[in-house]
Amino acid sequence: MCRFLIYRGRGMFMSDLLTKADRSLIHQSFKAREREEPLNGDGFGVGWYSPEIDTTPCAFTSTTPAWSNRNLHRLAEKIRSPCFFAHVRAATPGLVVSEVNCHPFEHGRFLWMHNGAVGEFLKIRRPLRESLDDELYNFIQGTTDSEHAFAVFLNYLKPYMNGYTLSDLADAMSATIEQLNVWTRAAEVARPCRYNFAVTDGHNIVATRYSSDPETLIESLYVSVGDRFENIDGRYRMAPTEADNRAIIITSEPLTDELSDWQEVPINHMVTVSPEMHLDIKPVH
């Protein structure tokens, strides 16, 4: 389900990644290649940081398809940000297409999005909710497994709210997946659970590629790192970096046909990005 992308680096217009690149996210919204069902038309969302203004993100979400949303096209042309999340949704059958179910989800300075699904989610929703304190219990507005997983993550992060590190975020992410596994095993969920989660505070990023049964079903995930993602004679490329990373893209599918620019994230691994743009890939757990 769904396609997402993450950008961190120098200020970049969202339109470069959302509408202009050959395999832009909006292209993926109607013609995804690495999913059996190519359509992600059940709403979308973007969230971005403007460090010159403050530390919390701004978000724009809608239940209409991304490809025809005039406001999205207008905003993407004018908003330049050093860190943004974008998501196009294919609703889990039976789940309502509603604005409260659009990704990315926001909480304080965090953004969260998800590609995948908790198999038979309703079987674990009650114990999941019961594990939350009142603030997080009431934070949940919609019915998606994705937003509920975000609440579990925030619950784990709570003790560190006044001063966490990238490592704390990665640990909270691992703990979230582990706890979801505990609940789905207890509920005897048979269908594979796929947890391509992504979270950021505008500086740190954690993104996972995980399936409880990776041989049967796993969502794709790629990273591209370099000096800058640039348009040369009408084609986008990731220009190589000579020293430090200055541009990082994490995405469900490559945004261009230059496949050498895109590295597949190994199965059941997580990508972490530090405030200094150091990128690391390591196993979940």
Q: Give the nearest distance from C-beta 272 to a copy of itself in angstroms.
A: 27
Asked if 190 is part of the footprint of a copy of itself (rule: CB under 8 A), the reply reads no
Residue number, 3 or 209, with CB nearest to a copy of itself: 3
Place of tokens 């207890």: 186
Residue number, 40 or 179, with CB nearest to a copy of itself: 40
- Does 2 qualify as catalytic in the annotation? yes
Per the residue annotation, which of 2, 83, 102, 193 is the catalytic one? 2
Contact 31, 88 (CB under 8 A): no
Residues 128-157 that bind a copy of itself (CB under 8 A): 129, 134, 137-138, 141, 143
Residue number, 137 or 167, with CB nearest to a copy of itself: 137
Contact 84, 14 (CB under 8 A): yes
Place of tokens 């490559």: 254
Q: Token pair of 5, please?
A: 């992308």
CB burial of 230-243 (b: ≥16 within 10 Å; e: otherwise) equals eeeeeebbbeeeee
Asked if 99 is part of the footprint of a copy of itself (rule: CB under 8 A), the reply reads yes
CB contact set of 130 (below 8 Å; sequence gap of 6+) = none
Q: How many residues bind a copy of itself (CB under 8 A)?
A: 40
Residue number, 54 or 213, with CB nearest to a copy of itself: 54
**Which is nearest to 17 in space by CA: 246, 219, 229, 202?**
229
Cis peptide bond upstream of 104, omega within 30: yes
Residue 198 pairs with which residues in a beta bridge? 113, 207
CB contact set of 233 (below 8 Å; sequence gap of 6+) = none
Q: Which of 2, 91, 151, 193 binds a copy of itself (CB under 8 A)?
A: 91
Residue number, 30 or 160, with CB nearest to a copy of itself: 30
**Which is nearest to 110 in space by CA: 167, 53, 78, 153?**
153
Residues 28-67 that bind a copy of itself (CB under 8 A): 30, 39, 41-42, 50, 53-54, 58-65, 67
Q: Which positions lie near a copy of itself, rule CB under 8 A?
A: 30, 39, 41-42, 50, 53-54, 58-65, 67-68, 70-71, 74-75, 77-80, 91, 96-100, 122, 125-126, 129, 134, 137-138, 141, 143
Which active-site residues does the annotation give? 2
